[in-house]
Amino acid sequence: MMVSTTKSKGLPKASGAVKKAVGSYGKDKEALIQVLLDLQAVFGWLPPGVLREVSEQLDVPVVQVYRIASYYKAFSLQPRGRHIIKVCMGTACQVRRSPQLLNTISAVLKMKPCETSTDGRFTLETVNCLGCCAMGPVVAIDDVYHSNPSTADLQKVFESAE
């Protein structure tokens, strides 16, 4: 379950979640990336308070926690919506008109790529290959892959997303 981004700001919550994540790897410093992945799954992104907790509880300098968190694309240091839309901009999808698909989604949701909607519902991202080029152009919405969806298909999916 995703925790809404506004709720995740409360620090006691952060420390509890971090304690659980850190504990499940036996407080092993080497598990930093795993811990961050788990927390990213809980909060949807990595808020500053969470990163500082990780640094304290894992006894790793906060500099290092940030370096790792800002290095990998799997982590987000900015708040993200409850639903993540990833439009593939890989070569195969480009050729099959993924830019148009992106434009359509942008227009339907009235938001630009890399943005999170103000109501915290959606984040629109571009990625470089989802690994299923034959299905292109592909968009993954909450990890469900849609092959060349029509505007009506998209609208239906977006409407059903809380």
Partner 1 sequence: MTVELQIDGKEVRAEEGITILEAAREAGIAIPTLCYHTELMPHGTCRICSVEVETRGRMRTVVSCGCSVEQGMVVKTRSPRIDRIRKTLIELLAPTTAVDGELGGQMKKLAREYGADTHRFESRFRDRPTRCILCGQCVRYCDEVVGEHAIGFMGRGVDRRAVFFPEKAKACVTCQACFNLCPTGKIPSETDFVVFDGFSVDDYLAGEL
Distance from C-alpha of 18 to C-alpha of 37, rounded to nearest angstrom? 11
Distance from C-alpha of 88 to C-alpha of 136, rounded to nearest angstrom? 8
Max CA pair span of the chain = 50
Under rule CB under 6 A, residue 31 binds ligand FES:
no
**Which H or E run includes 122?**
strand 122-127
User: Binder to partner 1 among 6, 12, 26, 63 (CB under 8 A)?
Assistant: 63
**101-160 residues near ligand FES, rule: CB under 6 A:** 129-133, 136, 138
Nearer to ligand FES, 37 or 133 (CB): 133
Which letter does DSSP use for residue 116 in this model? B
Under rule CB under 8 A, residue 67 binds partner 1:
yes
Q: Given the rule CB under 6 A, which residues bind ligand FES?
A: 88, 90-93, 129-133, 136, 138
Interface contacts to partner 1, rule CB under 8 A:
48, 61-64, 66-67, 70-71, 77-78
